A and B are shown apart, each in its own frame.
Chain A
Amino acid sequence: MTTPRDFVYTTYIKTTPEKLWAALTNPEFTKQYWGQKNISDWKTGSDWRHEHGDDGHTLITGKVVESNPPHRLVLSWAAPDNLDDLSQVSFDISVKGDMVQLDVVHGQFKEGSKMAAGVTAGWPRVLSSLKTYLESGTPLDTWADHGASCGAAA
């Protein structure tokens, strides 16, 4: 049994921190490019959930560990049927010239975590789709070649 390493993803998007924050926290926005809804009041200590865009079942659940709009959001992250396999995701938003830098770190995995496996395939797709969505208004078909809609990033 090994403890999975942290995964770090960075993308630069032509947008504003406020729009990017909304794109991460507004369920109607996340459904557009992620296919799923992120639902919470986004206050530190609150529950949040990642819900299937069509049938509404919960794919990921956790707490809002830190919330500092529109700069930093930290979420605990677990599948509802395996709450012990808990990890943490942080989103850091900063302005770089005329671009906004988004750093996503998915880490603090438990030893033997099954969550880490889906992460590698999931986040790059979600972030590419997010960038395209914010810059062009049209999302990519995020899970087009990934079988059925799944919680892979997630």
Chain B
Amino acid sequence: MVTDEDKVFKALADSSRRQLLDRLRDKGGLTLTELCESHDMTRQAVTKHLGLLEAANLVVTKKRGREKLHYLNPVPINEIYTRWTHQFEQERLTALQNLKQALEEGEKK
């Protein structure tokens, strides 16, 4: 059984798809044509990658007239992030971060 999470990891496990996400992070609301222009990929390849990203809910689209605009949806990535960093570990991570900051600031003096 392929879970939603499997789809997210699979979608992220490809540098071309990560580049598409980078592009959408920098500028949301791009059309397929605009996404093709900024990548060294065929239109077919971009379409296929966007399909996998959409299936993983990492890219969402909105219609504007006849155009389909693509946006990065970071919610699934945040869910992965919180799964391994929240709750009991969070306090320790924050403590480590505070310690690091205090030590680094101490060094500057």
Interface residues of A (CB under 8 A from B): 5-12, 103, 105, 120, 123-125, 127-128, 131-132, 140-141, 144-145
Interface residues of B (CB under 8 A from A): 4, 27-29, 57, 60, 62, 71, 73-75, 77-79, 82, 85-87, 90, 93-94, 97
**Bound complex: CA A10 to CA B53 (Å):** 13
Would you call B60 and A128 a contact (CB within 8 A)?
no
Picked from B4, B57, B94, the residue with its CB within 8 Å of the CB of A10 is B57
List residues of chain B with CB within 8 A of the CB of A103.
Answer: 60
List residues of chain A with CB within 8 A of the CB of B87.
Answer: 141
Would you call B82 and A140 a contact (CB within 8 A)?
yes
Picked from A6, A12, A123, the residue with its CB within 8 Å of the CB of B71 is A6
List residues of chain A with CB within 8 A of the CB of B27.
Answer: 5
List residues of chain B with CB within 8 A of the CB of A10.
Answer: 57, 60, 73, 75
Between-chain CB contacts (< 8 Å), 10 pairs: A6-B71, A7-B71, A8-B71, A9-B60, A10-B60, A124-B77, A127-B75, A128-B75, A145-B90, A145-B97
Q: State the majority secondary structure of interface residues on A.
A: mixed
List residues of chain B with CB within 8 A of the CB of A5.
Answer: 27-29
In the complex, the number of residue pairs spanning A and B with C-beta atoms less than 8 Å apart equals 57
List residues of chain B with CB within 8 A of the CB of A124.
Answer: 74-75, 77-78
The 8 lowest CB-CB distance pairs between A and B, nearest first, are A124-B78, A8-B71, A5-B28, A10-B60, A144-B90, A124-B74, A11-B75, A128-B78
**Bound complex: CA A105 to CA B82 (Å):** 22
Given A128-B82, A140-B86, 9 more contacts at CB 8 Å?
A: A9-B73, A10-B60, A127-B75, A127-B78, A128-B75, A128-B79, A131-B79, A132-B82, A145-B85
Picked from B4, B75, B82, B90, the residue with its CB within 8 Å of the CB of A9 is B75
List residues of chain B with CB within 8 A of the CB of A141.
Answer: 86-87, 90
Picked from B60, B73, B75, B86, the residue with its CB within 8 Å of the CB of A144 is B86
**Bound complex: CA A29 to CA B86 (Å):** 21
List residues of chain B with CB within 8 A of the CB of A120.
Answer: 74
**Bound complex: CA A7 to CA B27 (Å):** 10
Would you call B85 and A6 a contact (CB within 8 A)?
no
